[in-house]
Each structure stands twice: as structure tokens, then as C-alpha cells.
Amino acid sequence: MQGDLVLDCKGLSCPMPILKLAMAMKKLENGKVIEMYGTDPGSRDDVPAWCERTGHTLVEMLEVEDGFTFFIRCEK
């Protein structure tokens, strides 16, 4: 899978990945997907919880060697 927008949050600690995700999502059209990279272990729980709170869809979460890759669909 490939996102319509790539958001690199590697090296950032909470709450920065979620803040950057929220700002990027505001600029995205409905139905488009953000491909977000992160290394903060808290992102594993934070991103799905944020998606649930905001109504966006977590399409997929992958644990990769250097952290996580999330695919999040914009649902406006």
C-alpha cells in the first residue's frame, strides 16, 4: 500500500507525532490516505486511539525494524 501523503515522524516523541498527524489530516481530501512513519513506542496505542476519537480510519499498522508505519484514511 502507498499513501497519498507521506508523514515522517521518526525521532519525535509524544505528543508531536499526533500533532503533526492532526495538522496533515486537515489538509487532506476525504478518502485520501496518509502514510505515517514513527519511532515513538507510544504511537502503537496513540495513533489507533486518535483515529477512533476523530473518526478517521486506521487502514493498516505495520511494525517495522525501525518503528511503525501507519496508513490512515481521511474521513471528513
- The residues annotated with a catalytic role in the active site are 14
Angle of helix 16-27 relative to helix 43-54, nearest 10 degrees, comes to 40
Distance CA 35, CA 15 (A): 18
Neighbours of 15 (CB within 10 A): 12
